[in-house]
């Protein structure tokens, strides 16, 4: 399985210095089983792509394989489900960047649910939102046209929809939106537009390079302190938005923490150093130290563009 900073292979994670690596090693899962989980994830992802299914996860998902192993403890399953939620959250952020949805909703999901319950009005509204958002991107238009090459009726329907959309944009004095066909956004652009959301997603399973626990192990209070510090924002700047704001962002991205009450990381001490790195100390509820070291956030190894 190809590894990225966001979605590393299980074989790689088992060697990680952080909490997720310790958990995988403690389970004593053999290397061949981890490799098989990675292989199955890649295989299933490729099969979905070949069938042109619109999968809900942007990368291969090896966590599902571990969740289905007989005899896996409930504690381990909590960790695997939390890690798995990172993939869906990543897709959500990409949808926000392309206009496919907002923090509060994904128009694709809205359309699917409306279709399932037979609500044509809600389906048409969501489908129009989805189509108008994605129609401005060249890779999407090319893929749609290729899909319809052997379907004249589909292409005719597409042409009719495009004419209707162009007329609406001209009516709304937005002719330039029709004329400007854009490439899909780069991850660096998405980071700039959604700094809190992307940092949550990037660091959910593992954080930094020195073994600090991933954010899925953190309580909301230290998580808020960390995110605002790294964004160089004072908690007071957010007024009442502080902890509740970060909590709502996490919830709306559907990021699942490992625990809801007995969080592994209860508090954090953060000190920014003159060279731009951070001295980070994470603590349990009884005050005992979990990790302590210098953290440097490295650039994410994401594809140039995302969908």
What are the tens digits of pLDDT across the range 93-105? 988 988 888 999 8
State the Cα–Cα distance between residues 150 and 49, nearest whole angstrom.
Answer: 19
Residues 85 and 218 both lie in one domain:
yes
Tokens 């007329």 -> residue = 167
Do 76 and 118 lie in one domain? The reply is: no
- Residue 280, in any domain of the structure: yes
Cα-based angle 165, 168, 174 (whole degrees, multiple of 5):
100
Long-range contacts of 62-67 (CB under 8 A, 24+ apart): 62/1, 62/9, 62/10, 62/34, 62/37, 62/38, 65/36, 65/37, 65/40, 65/41, 66/10, 66/29, 66/37
User: Is residue 166 located within the same domain as residue 254?
Assistant: no
pLDDT for position 111: 85
Domain final residue pick, 129, 158, 179: 179
SS3 category, 100: coil
Q: Where is pLDDT greater, at 197 or 44?
A: 197
Question: Is pLDDT above 70 for 235?
Answer: no
15 domain-assigned: yes
Q: Highest-confidence range of 73-87, 134-148, 210-224, 234-248, by mean pLDDT?
A: 73-87
Residues 189, 276: one domain?
yes
Number of residues that make up the chain:
307
Q: Is the pLDDT of residue 148 over 60?
A: no
Same domain, 32 and 74: yes
- Between CA 40 and CA 160 the distance in angstroms is 41
Same domain flag for 128 and 199: no
Instruction: Kindly state whether residues 281 and 204 are assigned to the same domain.
Output: yes
d(CA 207, CA 230): 13
CA–CA distances in Å: residue 257 to residues 8, 40, 222: 19, 25, 13
294 CB-contact burial (10 Å; exposed 0-12 / middle 13-18 / buried 19+): middle
**pLDDT higher at 170 or 215:** 215
Percent above pLDDT 70 for the chain:
71
Query: Is 281 inside a domain boundary?
Result: yes
Angle at 112 between CA 106 and CA 117, to 5 degrees: 125
Co-location of 122 and 48 in the same domain: no
Mean pLDDT of 13-20: 88
Other Cβ atoms within 10 Å of 233 Cβ, number: 14
Within a 13 Å sphere around the CA of 284, how many CA atoms are in the beta-carbon half?
6
**80/191 same-domain check:** yes
Establish if 22 belongs to a structural domain: yes
Please report the pLDDT score of residue 238 as a whole number.
Answer: 47
Please say if the pLDDT value at position 149 is more than 80: no
Is the pTM higher than 0.85? The answer reads: no
The verdict on residue 305 lying in a domain is no
What is the count of structural domains for the chain? 2
Q: Are residues 163 and 209 in the same domain?
A: no
- The reply to whether 228 and 263 lie within a common domain is yes
Range of the domain at 150: 107-179
Domain boundary among 116, 144, 179: 179
User: Could you tell me if 189 and 270 lie in one domain?
Assistant: yes
Q: Please check whether residue 302 lies inside any domain of the structure.
A: no
Q: Name the domain boundary from 130, 157, 179.
A: 179
- Whether 2 is covered by a domain: the verdict is no
Q: For the sheet containing 289-295, what is the strand order?
A: 267-272, 278-283, 289-295
- Domain-embedded: residue 5: no
Q: What is the largest CA-CA distance in the chain?
A: 67
């Amino acid at each position: 399985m190809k590894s990225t900073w966001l979605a590393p292979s299980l074989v790689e994670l088992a060697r990680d210095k952080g909490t997720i690596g310790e958990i995988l090693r403690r389970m004593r899962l053999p290397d061949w089983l981890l490799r098989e989980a990675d292989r199955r994830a890649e295989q299933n992802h490729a099969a979905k792509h070949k069938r042109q299914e619109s999968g809900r996860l942007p990368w291969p998902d090896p966590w599902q394989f571990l969740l289905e192993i007989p005899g896996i403890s409930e504690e381990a399953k909590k960790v695997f489900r939390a890690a798995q939620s990172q993939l869906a959250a990543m897709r959500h952020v990409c949808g926000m960047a392309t206009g496919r949805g907002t923090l509060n909703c994904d128009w694709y999901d809205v359309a699917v649910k409306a279709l399932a319950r037979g609500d044509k009005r809600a389906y048409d509204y969501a489908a129009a939102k989805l189509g108008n958002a994605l129609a401005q991107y060249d890779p999407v238009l090319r893929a749609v046209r290729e899909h319809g090459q052997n379907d004249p009726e589909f292409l005719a329907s597409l042409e009719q929809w495009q004419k209707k959309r162009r007329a609406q944009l001209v009516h709304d004095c937005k002719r330039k939106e029709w004329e400007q066909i854009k490439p899909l956004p780069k991850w660096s652009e998405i980071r700039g537009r959604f700094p809190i959301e992307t940092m949550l997603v990037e660091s959910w399973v593992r954080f930094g390079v020195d073994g600090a626990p991933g954010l899925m192990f953190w309580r909301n209070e230290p998580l808020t302190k960390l995110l605002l510090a790294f964004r160089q924002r004072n908690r007071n700047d957010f007024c009442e938005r502080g902890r509740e704001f970060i909590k709502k962002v996490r919830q709306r991205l559907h990021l699942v923490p490992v625990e809801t009450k007995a969080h592994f990381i209860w508090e954090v001490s953060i000190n920014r150093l003159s060279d731009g790195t951070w001295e980070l100390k994470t603590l349990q509820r009884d005050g005992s130290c979990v990790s302590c070291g210098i953290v440097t956030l490295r650039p994410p190894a994401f594809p140039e563009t995302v969908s």
